[in-house]
Amino acid sequence: MTLTEAKTAAEAAEDHFKFLVGARFVGMNEYHWYRAVAAVRGENCRRNDDTSHDQALAADRTIGEAHDLYIKALHKFYVMRDGPKGVLGGRGL
């Protein structure tokens, strides 16, 4: 896989994750999902938006799995681009 292909795969995985949030919970986006997951974990992250769907949103396995695939693809791209120690670690910083 080339660096360009890895970037394209990560972007496609991100788009799919974002699509699933909106498709499964109309009117919501990835930021609602991140906030809902944090709130269910007990983190203090409340905002002035509708929190009535937090449990269902955070527990949605399809969205969670899509997010995991996105993060894996993103990290694969970063490792290919920056090396295993990251951009700063590769420079001895």
Q: Pull the structure tokens for residue 16.
A: 């799919």
Query: Among the residues of the chain, which ranges form H helices?
Result: 3-24, 30-40, 54-59, 61-82, 86-89
Q: What is the average per-residue pLDDT within 32-43?
A: 89
Length of the chain: 93
pTM: 0.85
Average pLDDT over every residue of 2-10 = 96
Tens digits of residue pLDDT in 42-88? 887 766 677 788 899 999 999 999 999 999 999 999 999 988 877 76
Higher pLDDT, 39 or 18: 18
* 87/26 Cα distance (integer angstroms): 38
The residues, ordered by sequence, that sit 6+ positions from 17 with a Cβ below 8 Å of its Cβ are: 30, 63, 66, 67, 69, 70
- Residue 92's pLDDT is what? 61
